[in-house]
């Protein structure tokens, strides 16, 4: 039977856990759909609908197996058996960790900074552990791994995404007629994406359903079978449909421009250089003066016009090659955007599903432990995770995305660098592969750090000047202060609990 104080801790813990899940949804879910929204593949509303479905499904089906991982990796649970009122202190610590992580996540979201929810809860867990047990109560090896991941996560993910981008660039993007090469890569991209995500799901296991674990060979076989099936489906069904859609779109553009004369234009990366160079050339030329009117092209447009007037003759030139964005980077051709948009939606959807399973513990893990201690009185009890608690966390994550998610989505998908369907797909696939491989070999990896690293690396390979380095430095600084800030807030909350009790 719970006492009045313990019942109050449970109620407060669940309320704060919901707010923590809200902050997680507003900040961390941008990892999955920020690049899709930034590349205009999905609208914000479409991204929120898909994320709601995938996050809740992932949290319920995959979220139970990580509920106690963070606490056990930072503080030895046996120490609570050696402490007076150990179960109560653990409950207070869980609430304190929720307060610390929640406060920092909400502040970072308000500032539009993508931070790691995992690192936030780790720092908050260490905070109440320091108050209870001092430095000897903390497993510093886990803390040092977190510090190492500040550098490991973005570099590894950035390299993987860059390799994928370079492969796409030299097999598709540099081709004059890129439609067929892009369509030929689509089955392989779908197969790889399906393999990575099916392997990730099966390797973790559906713990909440109490299904037996599969052997590694069975998992590989199932993932490979699903990947082959996906690749064949895209090859024989998806490619013809996408090809027809692209041809319809391009034919519509050509019919609209049927009265115009088409010329091949040599486009520089910086349109200002092209304009200034032309005027300098005309100023020194001996021929007749030519008046030029140039209309800028919005980054999302597929074509633009330049009107060249000489005397009474007017020539309209339709720009059908790659469009120059407002800050100089090259956007995808219409056929490239159409093809890779489908792959990017798939990558983002699977990533959101796995994110709901893996990262729900950041918001619900402490309250899961709080509930188990409150109902059993045993700090070492390993009961089956409650599906309603996981669903509760998934709802909080989804509401946070709907109400506040656009802030960090804008940072990931637009402010850091411009994202196109091609680069967005490379970023999401590279980050997913990195998280999967690193987590299975025991390397400490943050999904947030991986995605930001991929965005920066791919942006550099596309055009170094397109990356907002000032913003990236601010994000990196926020990463470094995540642990101490969440640790400090949690320590203060735990200290107040001890004083008041």
Mind spelling out the 3-state secondary structure of 342-403? HHHHHHHHHHHHHHHHHHHHHHHHHHHHHHHHHHHCCCCCCCCCCHHHHHHHHHHHHHHHHH
pLDDT for 316? 44
Cα separation, 45 vs 402, whole angstroms:
8
Rounded to a whole number of angstroms, the CA Rg of the chain reads: 26
CB atoms inside a 10 Å sphere around CB 320: 20
At which residue do the structure tokens 């008041």 appear? 500
pLDDT at 268: 40
Using CA atoms, how far residue 303 sits from 36, 292, 309, in Å, is 22, 18, 20
- Whose tokens are 């304009």? That residue is 275
pLDDT in tens, 372-420: 888 877 776 666 667 888 888 888 888 988 888 877 887 887 788 888 8
Tokens linked to 190: 């779908």
**Encoded tokens for 307:** 């009107």
How sure is the predictor about 205, in pLDDT bands with cuts at 50, 70 and 90?
A: low
Average pLDDT estimate for 129-155:
85
**pLDDT at 461 (0 to 100):** 86
What average pLDDT does range 307-325 have in this prediction?
43
Handedness of CA 432, 433, 435, 440 (dihedral sign): positive
Q: For residues 426 and 100, what is the distance between their CA atoms, to the nearest angstrom? A: 34
Percent of the chain with pLDDT over 70: 75
Q: Which residues make Cβ contacts (< 8 Å) with residue 301, sequence separation at least 6? A: 323
Residues 336, 177: Cα–Cα separation, whole Å: 10
Of the two residues 365 and 15, the one the predictor is more confident about is 15
Helix (H) or strand (E) holding 292: strand 291-294
Question: Which residue is listed with tokens 């486009």?
Answer: 267
HSE toward the beta carbon, residue 49, CA cutoff 13 A: 6
Question: Which of 328 and 22 is assigned the larger pLDDT?
Answer: 22
Percent of the chain residues topping a pLDDT of 90: 23
Mean pLDDT within 11-38: 85
Retrieve residue 25's tokens: 């949804």
β-strand partners of 293: 307
Average pLDDT over residues 187-201: 85
Distance CA 243, CA 256 (A): 20
Give the best-scoring range by mean pLDDT among 30-34, 164-168, 347-351.
Answer: 164-168
User: Which three-class secondary structure state does DSSP give residue 197?
Assistant: helix
Give per-residue pLDDT as tens, 350-369.
778 777 766 666 667 788 87
Cα 34 to Cα 458: distance, rounded to the nearest angstrom = 15
Number of helices followed by number of strands (H, E) in the chain: 18, 3
Which range among 131-135, 255-259, 360-364 has the greatest average pLDDT?
A: 131-135
Q: What is the pLDDT of residue 156?
A: 92
Least confident of 1-5, 314-318, 495-499: 314-318
Neighbours of 174 (CB within 10 A): 10
For position 284, what pLDDT does the model report?
Answer: 44
């Amino acid at each position: 039977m719970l006492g009045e104080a313990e019942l109050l801790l449970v109620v407060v813990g669940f309320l704060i856990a919901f707010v923590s899940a809200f902050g997680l949804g507003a900040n961390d879910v941008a990892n999955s759909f920020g690049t899709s929204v930034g590349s205009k593949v999905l609208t914000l509303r479409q991204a929120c609908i898909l994320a709601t479905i995938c996050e809740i499904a992932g949290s319920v089906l995959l979220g139970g197996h990580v509920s106690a991982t963070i606490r056990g990796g930072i503080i030895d649970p046996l120490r609570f058996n050696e402490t007076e009122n150990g179960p109560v202190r653990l409950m207070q610590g869980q609430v304190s960790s929720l307060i610390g992580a929640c406060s920092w996540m909400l502040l970072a979201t308000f500032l539009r900074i993508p931070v790691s929810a995992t690192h936030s809860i780790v720092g908050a867990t260490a905070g109440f552990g320091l108050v209870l047990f001092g430095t000897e109560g903390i497993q510093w090896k886990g803390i040092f791994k977190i510090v190492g991941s500040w550098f490991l996560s973005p570099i590894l993910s950035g390299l993987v995404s860059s390799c994928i981008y370079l492969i796409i660039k030299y097999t598709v993007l540099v081709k004059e007629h890129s439609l067929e090469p892009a369509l030929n890569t689509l089955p392989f991209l779908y197969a790889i994406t399906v393999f990575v995500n099916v392997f990730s799901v099966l390797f973790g296991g559906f713990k909440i359903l109490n299904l037996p674990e599969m052997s590694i060979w069975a998992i590989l076989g199932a993932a490979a079978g699903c990947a082959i099936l996906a690749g064949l489906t895209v090859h024989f069904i998806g490619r013809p449909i996408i090809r027809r859609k692209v041809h319809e779109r391009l034919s519509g553009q050509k019919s609209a421009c049927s009265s115009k004369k088409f010329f091949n234009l040599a486009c520089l990366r910086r349109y200002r250089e092209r304009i200034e160079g032309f005027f300098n050339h005309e100023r020194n030329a001996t021929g007749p003066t030519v008046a030029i009117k140039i209309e800028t092209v919005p980054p999302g447009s597929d074509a633009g016009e330049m009107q060249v007037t000489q005397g009474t003759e007017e020539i309209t030139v339709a720009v059908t090659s790659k469009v120059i964005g407002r800050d100089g980077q090259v956007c995808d051709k219409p056929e490239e955007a159409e093809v890779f948009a489908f792959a990017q939606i798939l990558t983002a959807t699977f990533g959101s599903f796995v994110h709901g399973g893996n990262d729900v513990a950041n918001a619900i893990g402490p309250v899961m432990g709080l509930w188990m201690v409150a109902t059993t009185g045993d700090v070492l009890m390993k009961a089956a995770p409650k599906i309603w608690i996981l669903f509760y966390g998934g709802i909080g994550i989804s509401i946070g995305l709907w109400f506040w998610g656009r802030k960090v989505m804008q940072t990931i998908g637009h402010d850091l660098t411009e994202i196109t369907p091609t680069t967005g797909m490379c970023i999401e696939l590279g980050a997913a592969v990195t998280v999967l491989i690193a987590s299975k070999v025991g390397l400490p990896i943050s999904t947030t750090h991986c995605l930001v690293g991929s965005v920066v690396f791919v942006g550099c390979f596309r055009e170094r000047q397109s990356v907002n380095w000032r913003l990236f430095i601010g994000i990196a600084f926020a990463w470094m202060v995540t642990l101490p800030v969440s640790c400090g807030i949690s320590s203060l909350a735990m200290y107040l609990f001890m004083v008041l009790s």
